[in-house]
Amino acid sequence: MASSRILELANGIGKFTSLIHDHLASHDLQFPSFSPDASGTLPEELLKAQDAVLNDTAELHDLLMPPISALHINGNVQNLVSMNAICRFDMANSFAPGEETSFAQMAKHAGLSETVTKSLLRHAMTIRIFCEPKKGVITHTARSALFREPKIQNFIRTGLEEMTPAALRTLDALQKWPMSEEPAETGFALANNTNQLIYEILGDDPARAKRFADTMNIFTTEKGFETSHVISGFDWQSLGAATVVDIGGSRGHISIALAMQFPALKFVVQDFEITVKGAENDMAEAVAERVSFMAHDIFKEQTVVAHVYYFRWIFHNWSDKYSIKILRSLIPILRPGVHIIINDVCMAEPGTLAAWREKELRTFDLGMLAILNGRERDAEEWKDLFERADPRFHFEGVTQPEGSNLAMIAASWSG
């Protein structure tokens, strides 16, 4: 029998699926399923096998899918419509996992017609949200059970009500302001008929702000954002009794974690006044004397003398123009040997990541463009950013801690 790409893919899928199965079986671990009580994650040692299976199944799926059907399925927004309906009408909380319900009962709970409810739910079922084990009977899946959580509902609503309108106006923004690096000349600005930044718009609407904050919280607390990657990603111990300024550090969770691990270090957490107000009251007594908070505008001249200036997930919000301003704001206070550490996404070379991971990163990249004219950067672009800010910044390279979604991008000041 002649070989073919589809057969190669099928063999690879079989090989790595068997590896995953055998590992889970030998360690008496739960197998993946759509059951509401499924764990949803695999052990770290299986992640490479997981990537291989997801890569090969995605390619096999795309090879066998007619091109026009693929464009239709991947290019529509109906997934968000059915998901948002489940959130807005709180459908997942109309019955509990392990129970059964009907379309009529779901419709009554939602206050919608049974016909529309059936259309919405049966579409959601095509992406494994709820299932219909027999005609007219609805049960929960692992995905639908997530929709019982308010933060997940806010995550979905942010996607449809904030990001989608911004995305749909992004090309209009590029036509109107083709070379703009301004954070208020974006698809989000056009969708909201404003010249204000997204932060200002959300600040005037507590409900929208809460939805957006919950969305960011999901991203920053999921697997791959653990503080352990920051602890292991830089030689903090070598600093001795040093001061670290955590710029844009919110309520200081990174500084607190580092302070617990490295008792010789002191930290100053800087952020908006409203963000840092009262933050010292949330700290453990063990680090209270070594972690302080102050209000600071990242575009204003830095005033704290330190050995390290640390930024976590800050620069992707900003275009190069403003990212350079942030770096230059440090210069008046810098001394030779001072470290600048940017803890942010570093885009891999195309084709070097699992396809699903690369797609997620490139989706983030376009999302930042839509709402702030921000961007994700690769290693060359990070190096270029430092060089354009000032040739006295010495770029030291990028470290990607194993299992981390964020890289440690390091530079020092040569003076």
The crossing angle, in degrees rounded to 10, of helices 150-158 and 78-88 is 140
Give the integer Cα–Cα distance in Å for 289 and 153: 39
Give the integer Cα–Cα distance in Å for 13 and 3: 16
- Cβ atoms < 10 Å from Cβ of 240: 10
61 belongs to the catalytic site: no
61, 316, 339, 394: which is the annotated catalytic residue? 316
Give the integer Cα–Cα distance in Å for 85 and 120: 7
Looking at the chain, the number of H-run helices and the number of E-run strands are 19, 12
Helix locations, 126-267, DSSP H: 142-146, 150-158, 164-168, 170-176, 187-191, 198-203, 206-221, 227-232, 253-261
Element (H, E) at 308: strand 308-312
Pairing mode, strands 377-378 and 346-347: parallel
Bridge partner list, 269: 246, 293
CA distances for 277 relative to 244, 317, 336, angstroms: 20, 23, 33
The contacts of residue 86 (CB under 8 Å, 6+ apart) are 92, 120, 121, 124, 129, 144, 147, 156
Pairing mode, strands 266-271 and 377-378: unpaired
Active site residues: 316
